[in-house]
Amino acid sequence: MNKNIFITGMCVLVLMMGLAACERQSNEEQSVSQESAPAVSEEQATPLSKEEFEQMYSDPVRFKGRSVDFYAKVATDPSKESNAIYIQAYVDPKNSEKNTMIGYADSSLNVKEDDFIHVTGTVADEYVGENVYGEELTAPAIEADKIEKTDYATAVAPALKTIKVNKIVKQHGYVMTLQKVEFAEEETRFYLSIENKSKDTINFNLYHTKLIQGSKQFEPEDSYYGTDYPELQSDILPGIKTEGILRFEGVDLSKGNLKMIAEGSSENYNLNFDPFKFIISTR
């Protein structure tokens, strides 16, 4: 990507974000092309370490030319030109922080606000501007070599361990299947499906679901805000199957096996249901 185009496009994007000004590097620096750039060193080819990546946000210029590999959430709909796309993204999407400007020489990329992306590329420069209060704002400007759409779990809470369960519990045509469990640092994800093979509407109540480990009980998260996780439906008609992810806080696998207990019911009040129980061995 031509560096002049990259910086110009990034200025347009920052103005869309409400910044009042965009400071550019000197004309001499802007005129440097890819053809005249020196060969990439081994250090430049190696992606920034976690510590270096954190340092980049306070001093992007120090890391110019270095490779990066990161996940982010698109903060606003990108700006496009005929041959490039310019993206503002948050590398810390949970707190809407670590603002990052990304330029990519492929305007056909189909991403929009709130999408999660995986980016590889190089640090192009520091991006400087002012907000409406006159306060200086800075952000790394990244020239992307590749951008791929991904999901919340991969970008924000990657699984450290996955256990395939595929256990089915059936009662009166109420079929509950625990497919797998993913353990991330900050959350535990249960992939569950419920199928109604009865003649009556059946019900699932999230708030009656519990996760037990030893003497500790965990409650399910009731908010899916900011994620793209599918939610289980609560009222399931005959012949319908619903699938979703139940979220609990992160657990310590060294503390022993887990037991998930869920409750189901039917609008046929003559039927009695025992709790649906699943044991997950963490060994």
pLDDT digits (tens, 9 = 90+) for 162-187: 999 999 999 999 999 999 999 999 99
- Asked whether residue 176 falls in the same domain as residue 238, the answer is yes
- Asked whether residue 179 falls in the same domain as residue 113, the answer is no
Look at residues 98, 101, 118 and name the one whose alpha carbon lies nearest to residue 109: 118
CATH (domain of 41): 2.40.50.140
CA dist list (Å): 41 to 2, 46, 70, 123: 20, 9, 20, 14
E strand or H helix at 191: strand 187-196
- Asked whether residue 142 falls in the same domain as residue 181, the answer is no
- Indicate the residue among 102, 118, 151 that finishes a domain: 151
Helix (H, G, I), strand (E, B) or coil at 153: helix
Are the C-beta atoms of residues 153 and 189 closer than 8 Å to each other?
yes
Name the least confident of 93-97, 112-116, 206-210, 257-261: 93-97
Q: Is the pLDDT of residue 133 over 80?
A: no
Helix (H, G, I), strand (E, B) or coil at 29: helix
- Asked whether residue 19 falls in the same domain as residue 125, the answer is yes
CATH (domain of 174): 2.60.40.4170
- Asked whether residue 27 falls in the same domain as residue 62, the answer is yes
- Asked whether residue 142 falls in the same domain as residue 22, the answer is yes
Are the C-beta atoms of residues 236 and 204 closer than 8 Å to each other?
yes
- Asked whether residue 114 falls in the same domain as residue 133, the answer is yes
- Asked whether residue 238 falls in the same domain as residue 108, the answer is no
Residue 99 structural domain: 3-151
- Asked whether residue 8 falls in the same domain as residue 125, the answer is yes
Task: Give the per-residue pLDDT at 40.
Answer: 53
Segment 8-17 mean pLDDT: 48
- Indicate the residue among 98, 116, 151 that finishes a domain: 151
- Asked whether residue 52 falls in the same domain as residue 188, the answer is no
- Indicate the residue among 151, 180, 198 that finishes a domain: 151
- Reported as a single tens digit per residue, the pLDDT across 25-81 is 434 344 444 444 455 565 666 889 999 999 999 999 999 999 999 999 999 999 998
Looking at the DSSP assignment, which residues form a beta bridge with residue 266?
A: 202
Instruction: Give the separation between CA 146 and CA 102, rounded to whole angstroms.
Output: 11
Are the C-beta atoms of residues 100 and 89 closer than 8 Å to each other?
yes
Name the least confident of 21-30, 135-144, 174-183, 215-224: 21-30
The answer for residues whose C-beta is within 8 angstroms of residue 224's C-beta and 6 or more apart is: 231, 247
- Asked whether residue 140 falls in the same domain as residue 224, the answer is no
Name the least confident of 16-20, 37-41, 119-123, 165-169: 16-20
The answer for residues whose C-beta is within 8 angstroms of residue 225's C-beta and 6 or more apart is: none
- Asked whether residue 204 falls in the same domain as residue 223, the answer is yes
Q: Which residue type is seen at 43?
A: E
Look at residues 189, 157, 193, 163 and name the one whose alpha carbon lies nearest to residue 178: 193
- Reported as a single tens digit per residue, the pLDDT across 270-280 is 999 999 999 99
Total number of domains in the chain: 2
